[in-house]
Amino acid sequence: MTGTVKSRRTGFSARQLELDPLIDDPATRIVVCCGSGGVGKTTTAAALGLRAAERGRDVVVLTIDPARRLAQSMGLTELDNTPRRVGGVDETKGGSLHAMMLDMKRTFDEIVEQHADRERARQILENPFYQSLSSSFAGTQEYMAMEKLGQLHGGGDWDLIVVDTPPSRSALDFLDAPQRLGSFLDGRLIRILSAPAKVGGRGALKFLSAGMGLMTGALNKVVGAHLLTDIQTFVAALDTTFGGFRKRADATYKLLQAPGTAFLVVAAPEKDALREAAYFVERLDAESMPLAGLVLNRVHGTGAGQLSAERSMAAAETLYERAYDEDTYDEDTYDDEEPAGDAPSADDLRLVAGLLTLHAERLRMIGREERVRTRFTSIHPDVPVVEVPALPGDVHDLDGLRSIGGHLA
């Protein structure tokens, strides 16, 4: 694997991102790994958490990835909404590692139970509209990720929280979702819909204007009487906690902007992934979020860069032709003379030609990666970059995470 780290660096002069000083600094309390789907955010978060723990930090890794890769790589049978201690971690420097996977609905339930009395909490949890909202409403997962982050930070049990952000089609949805959900729950439409339930159910209709009655009747036809009633009942029961959603979202948002938080944008050396990474960088800057740098995953390299793709392909073509000649050669032309014993066979020639072809394809891939990487760094020259080489297989245990952590450092 050492050989994969060596590669040509034509035009690539990004600042080097050094992560050990970041995770060693006790002032660093939150590291957020963000990026588009499938670029290795979960593995990066886990590897960074393990390295920080073995360097003396008390770490919890919060993942929102529905896949079970993190649990498997950490030797855990499962991950849930409760932080679980990871075994096999070197704790000689006083650190520890816990991991958890966000349970969106359970987190929402906990908020209700925490901020409402027992009877009101029961009404909310049993409400059909709440059950739909807490499990499938757009933005709920991202909002609950922010809620859980706020809870972990406020609990004070860990001095470093590593967050693996939700896989989202739109970059940084987890920053927008709290405001969207808070605006929805605090919105004027919900307030209007809840008015009859808040002031006394059907009797309250006496106090509503004729216009409000007409609107409610129209909404009954559009969304259905049962859904409208569920919404009204839900909002009335939740009224005592209404301000809390927006308040907590604002507090967590400010926490993400504060000193002690660091964002890592994770990407692969591919055109689409780096285009998305550029958007992340620009959006974080616009939101005044502290960007530490870019983690470039699965970078390909070669230890034989002196042999160009063109020369490699030319040699491969020559060997394929020789192999063809060997296959079709008429032995009678030898005049019963035995061929040299050390002459390569046709199969040997094809094998070497195949290896040369693979080498040429690898160099072409490296060239493509260098071009898109150089384009990113030319647009964002101030963003430090650390590279993680492409590995021959998936990371599935702590040793694999340690290897990734070593490259991150």
CA distances from 312 to 52, 235, 319, 369 (A): 43, 69, 11, 19
pLDDT at residue 338 greater than cutoff 60: no
- How many of the other CB atoms lie within 10 Å of CB of 60? 24
Question: Which of 390, 268, 399 lies closest to 4, judged by CA?
Answer: 390
Q: CA-to-CA distance for 316 and 158, rounded, in angstroms?
A: 57
Q: Provide the token pair at 105.
A: 């609905």
Is the pLDDT reported for residue 175 higher than 90? no
Predicted pLDDT at 383: 96
Q: Does 284 have pLDDT greater than 50?
A: yes
CB 172 within 8 Å of CB 284: yes
Q: At what angle do helices 128-136 and 225-238 cross, to 10 degrees?
A: 80
pLDDT value, residue 184: 60
Q: How many CA atoms lie within 13 A of 99 on its CB side?
A: 29
**105 and 135 in contact (C-beta within 8 Å)?**
yes
In the block, which residue shows the tokens 């790589």? 73
pLDDT at 405 over 90: yes
The predicted structure's pLDDT at residue 35: 86
Q: Under a CB-based contact definition with an 8 Å cutoff, are residues 253 and 145 in contact? A: no
Contact 172, 283 (CB under 8 A): yes
Distance of alpha carbon 338 from alpha carbon 152, whole angstroms: 79
Percent of the chain with pLDDT over 90: 33
Distances (CA, A) of 258 to 132, 136, 183, 337: 34, 31, 23, 83
Most confident of 66-75, 108-117, 352-361, 381-390: 381-390
Q: What is the pLDDT of residue 371?
A: 93
The first and second tokens of residue 72, run together, are: 């498997």
pLDDT at 213: 45
Number of H helices, E strands in the chain: 17, 8
Task: Give the 3-state secondary structure of residue 199.
Answer: coil
pLDDT of residue 233: 65
DSSP 174: H
State both tokens at 111: 């908020």
Lowest-pLDDT range of 25-39, 135-149, 162-176, 196-210: 196-210
> Could you report the per-residue pLDDT of 181-226, keeping only the tens digit for each?
656 655 555 555 555 544 444 444 443 344 444 444 444 444 445 5
Banded pLDDT at 254 (limits 50, 70, 90): confident
Residues 248, 3: Cα–Cα separation, whole Å: 49
Q: Quick check: helix, strand or coil at residue 387?
A: strand
The pLDDT assigned to 204 comes to 42
Tell me how far apart the alpha carbons of residues 10 and 23 are, in angstroms, rounded to a whole number.
31
Give the model's pLDDT for residue 191.
Answer: 56
Q: Which of 91-100, 145-154, 246-255, 335-344 has the lowest mean pLDDT?
A: 335-344
The C-alpha atoms of residue 381 and residue 313 are separated, in whole angstroms, by 35
Distance from C-alpha of 405 to C-alpha of 409, rounded to nearest angstrom = 6
- Tokens 């020369």 locate to 311
Helix pair 128-136, 104-115: axis angle to 10 deg: 130
